[in-house]
Structures are given as C-alpha cells and as structure tokens.
Amino acid sequence: MSEDTRSAEPDHEAIIIGAGVCGIYQLYRLKELGVGAIVLEAGDDLGGTWYWNRYPGARFDSESISYGYSFSDELLQEWDWKERFSGQPENHRYLSYVADKFDLRRHMQFGVTVESAHWDDDATQWRLHLDDGRDLSCRFLITAVGLLSAPTMPRYEGMDTFAGRSFHTYEWPDDIDLAGRRVAVIGTGATAVQVIGAIASEVGELTVFQRRPNWCAPLHNAEITPAEMADIKARYDEIFALCARTPGGFIHEPDRRPFFEVPREERLAKWEQLYGEPGFGIWLANFRDTFMDEEANAELSEFIASKIRSRVHDPVVAEKLIPKDHGFGVQRVPMETGYYEAYNQDNVHLVDLRETPIERVTPKGIETTEREYEFDVIVYATGFDAVTGAYDRIDIRGVGGQALKELWAQGPVTYLGLNVPGFPNMLMPTGPQSGSASTNFPRGIELGVDWVTDLMQYMWKHDYTREEATPEAAADWGAYVAKLYEIMLMRKAQGWFTGYNSNVEGHEKGTIRYVVFNGGTPKYRQKISEVADDGYRGLVLS
C-alpha cells in the first residue's frame, strides 16, 4: 500500500445509511464528538419505520415511555407522550423534534439511495455510489438500515393487471380514501392486524386473506393524562433501569418461578390479569417457561384460544383465527385493538388460504381456487425481508471484492452482530445477530450505537484507522447465536426471527437463518462490554 493512497483523506469520516431511530442517534453521538459525519436516507424525510409505515392503525407496540431516547434528560423532560402506545404521526413528530432540537437535519441528505459500497483496502476507505450519480468516500460505513425496511410482495401471477389500486402497507399512499370501498388485505401479521382493526368500520367490504393465523393480544391503548406524564417524567431513571434488566428491554419482567410449581388457579388468575393489562405483559411478563417448555406453552396457548373463542361470535371463524402450528408467544405477538371483534361485523370476511389458495390476481380482484373476489383496493400486508434484506439490497463488497450478500447467502456471518469479517470499518449498530434485533428497538439501538461510537473513539485515541473482525471470532459468535435458538420454542416458528419469508428466494421454510440474538438484552450488553473492556478482543485493529 503506498503512503500516498493511504493518507488520502476520505470525503467524510463516517457515512451513516438511514435516518431512522438508529441513524438519528448515531449522528447525534458523532456530532457531539465533532466528527465529520453525514446521513444518507432514501426517504424524503427522517423517521425510518415511522416515516414509511403510514398505514391506518400504525402505532407502537412498545410503551411510548419506554420507546423514546434515554440519552438526554432535557429531551425526556420536554417531550409529552399523549398515548400509552403512540401512533405513527406523533412518533414521526417526536423524531423530527429530536433532530431539530439537536440540529441534526443539516447533516442529513434525503431522497438518496446508496446503490453500492465497496471497500478500498489500499486507501482504508469505503467508496459509495449513490443513485443520483455521486460517488462519496468515508472511513467508517455505519449501517443504520433498519430491521424491517425491505418490504416483500407475494409472487402471484397477474399482480400488475389489477385495475384498482394496490400497494404494500410500507408504501401506503397519502391520497387513498377507503370509505365505502371493497378492500382486500393479504396477510395477518402485526401490520395487518393493526390495519384491519383500524379500517374495518370505515370500508364498505373488507376481505382478509389469511394463510397462517397469528396469536394476537389486546393492546389496551389509552391517553396519558398530564398528571400521569408528570409522574412518568419523575420516574424515567427507574423506567430505563427496568428496561435494562429485562430480557426484552421492555417494562415487562418475566415471572421466573417454575411454571408447574405455581398452582393452576394462580396461573390462570395471572393470565386473566395480564390479558386485561396494556402491552406485551401477557407475552413478556409471563412465566419464563412458556418460551421453552412445550407443555407450559400449550396451556398458555389454550388460555389465549379461549379468549379468541369468546371474542369471535362465529365459531368456525374463531377456529380459523386460532393458530394450530405454533404456540402463543413463540413469534413476536401482534398487538391488536378490536381485531377479533372486526370479524363480528357483517362487512368483514375471512378467506382461509390453506383451504382455498390464491391462484392469481385479476384485473377485477383476486381469484382463489374457489372463486373470484372483486375489489377496489388490494393491501399487501405481506411483511419484510427482515434483518438482512436491507443489506442485500445494497451492493456491499469487502476485502477482495467479496459480496456481503454472498457471504450471507446461508444466513448472516457476524461478530457480535456489530462487525463482519472481511468487511473492515463497516459497523452495524443493530446488525443481524445483535441483541438490538430482538429487543425493544430503541433500547437495543442505544446499546449498539454507544458500542460502535466507543470503538471509533478507541481507534482515534490509539491512531488506528482499520478494524476487522477475525473469521474465528465470527464463527464462535455464530455458533453461540445458533445455540441460543436451541432452547427456545421460537426455533419451530416460521417468522422473521427465524429468517423465514415465503416471498424471498432461499428464505422459504426449511433451514433456520440465525438472524437475532436470543440471549436477552442484559446478556448481550455483558458480552459486548466484555469485548470492549478486553481491548476489542476478536477485532484486528491497525
């Protein structure tokens, strides 16, 4: 490597891809340190998830008070959350407020897509090509690209022939009016469940096309009064300390008592209580054994099934809505508001795709093996190429031109979910196999961003310009991540936590893709802190 090339300064010390919750905080940290960093964002505004997902009913499933950033006391004291589970418009306002308060917008460029990022080992720089034709270089490439930001569409014949309007929930048009229209929703994941609850009373006819039902639980949203908000502001330290010690990073702490040592009546009483309380409590404040023990999980699932039967009047429809292929909580639980009651309305219909699969989309609507349904609007609530999808959509190449997509073809290869061998100076605050992917997202984001920023500071302090994970360290991490799946019933579920997506080639049912760290936030924090304290063991710094 010639001295000349090596000393050539890149355009920016750091380029952050993505202006979502992660990119905003990462930019804040670097700006506080006076580092030359910019954010490149494909959307026309900041917000990430809370910019794109503008579908009716989009809101937090985390308690608002545990979702906001924790890094600034001033911010915590200034911002008033208005609902227990705040809706998309307010969440977007919050993120805009943060960016404006800390004067971050001027370092953000919107409407630009990074097409490629290639590592130049001679110059110790990343070289980016953008869709507006520009080329940019940086020392550190920070991927704040989101976990659920690569939407996926089904592969039905005739989708482009439909004469009405059709779109993915991630790209909900601003100008659509569903009042009185005949609407199809394909999918029954967390997004569909929010949409269906929100639009059922407004539309003319709503037909839900369900392949596999999900176990859903009531959100119990409500307003936060000014008095409650004042109390919350006084308790933020306590709230964030609680999030930090729970496996999911939420305010819900698991019950660690052995399931079968607690009398059945007491278990049932606990479930009744949790089902009536707001948020993920019924999932995450439940007995820890329900995540690992088939029998315990089956009993809980039966309790939830009885709730569905009591809420849905037509017993045939109720049975269709009860999952039979997996137990409650082995996948992330969609939180609902009036979802099950929607099926009691005369204008809402359920089509079970396991009985009558979709054959094609026609100019008029959707044709199943049974009949053709006519629609004005088709909503694809068909999910995401989760966790690795946003990476796969950029042509990322590391040492020797190796493509990241190829390295990850069988599943991600990472060290701590933060680094990838062969991809020096690419830092992933919420990467695949990180703890940030399986927790209350902002809590994991702050953890990942702080670790990445600490590493950069360490490198500047010691005059290092290059970091790279060793293949051995990545192999050990991958084996550890895989082992953690073994004890969880989740390994049997076909959801995004196991890297499943029927619409993405190679991600269909079959092999598990180990995309998240399942050891819980406290364990993850401990692991990554130990590595840092040990002079970044597993990374080669030069």
Residues 37-96 that bind ligand NAP (CB under 6 A): 60-61
Judged by beta carbon, residue 87 or residue 412, the one nearer ligand NAP is 87
Rounded to 5°, angle at Cα 509 from 349 and 383: 50
CB of 85 to ligand NAP, least distance (A): 8
Q: Is there binding between residue 154 and ligand NAP (CB under 6 A)?
A: yes
Print the binding letters for residues 345-364 with ligand NAP: x by CB under 6 A, - otherwise: --------x-----------
Span from 269-277, 368-376, 378-386, 471-479 in contact with ligand NAP (CB under 6 A) = 378-386
Judged by beta carbon, residue 292 or residue 353, the one nearer ligand NAP is 353
Q: Which residues have a Cβ under 8 Å from the Cβ of 374 and sit 6 or more positions away?
A: 182, 364, 365
Span from 27-35, 295-303, 377-385, 418-426 in contact with ligand NAP (CB under 6 A) = 377-385
Judged by beta carbon, residue 200 or residue 335, the one nearer ligand NAP is 335
- From the list 319, 336, 86, 309, the residue with the least C-alpha distance to 197 is 336
Question: Given the structure tokens 């219909």, which residue do they identify?
Answer: 349
- Please report which helix (H) or strand (E) contains residue 52, including its range: helix 49-52
Print the binding letters for residues 113-152 with ligand NAP: x by CB under 6 A, - otherwise: -----------------------------------x----
Q: Give, rounded to a whole angstrom, the gap between the first and last alpha carbons of the chain.
A: 14
Judged by beta carbon, residue 112 or residue 305, the one nearer ligand NAP is 305
Residue at 355: amino acid letter: E
Residues 204-263 that bind ligand NAP (CB under 6 A): 211-212
Q: Is 425 exposed, middle or buried (0-12, 13-18, 19+ CB in 10 A)?
A: buried
Residues 487-516 that bind ligand NAP (CB under 6 A): 496, 502-503
Pairwise CA distance, residues 454 & 435, whole Å: 17
CB of 211 to ligand NAP, least distance (A): 3
Name the pairing type of β-strands 358-361 and 365-368.
Answer: antiparallel
Print the binding letters for residues 438-477 with ligand NAP: x by CB under 6 A, - otherwise: ----------------------------------------
- Residue 311 contacts residue 341 (beta carbons within 8 Å): yes
- From the list 539, 467, 458, the residue with the least C-alpha distance to 121 is 467
Secondary structure class of 24 (helix, strand, coil): helix
Span from 158-166, 379-387, 465-473, 474-482 in contact with ligand NAP (CB under 6 A) = 379-387
CB of 190 to ligand NAP, least distance (A): 4
Question: Given the structure tokens 């991809």, which residue do they identify?
Answer: 423
CB of 119 to ligand NAP, least distance (A): 31
Q: Which residues have a Cβ under 8 Å from the Cβ of 314 and sit 6 or more positions away?
A: 343, 344
Judged by beta carbon, residue 40 or residue 190, the one nearer ligand NAP is 190
Using the CB atoms, write b or e for 401-422: b if 16+ within 10 Å.
ebebeebbeebbbbbbbbbbbb
Judged by beta carbon, residue 10 or residue 323, the one nearer ligand NAP is 323
Residues 183-202 that bind ligand NAP (CB under 6 A): 186-192, 194
Write out the residues near ligand NAP by the rule CB under 6 A: 60-61, 148, 154, 186-192, 194, 211-212, 332, 335, 353, 381-384, 496, 502-503
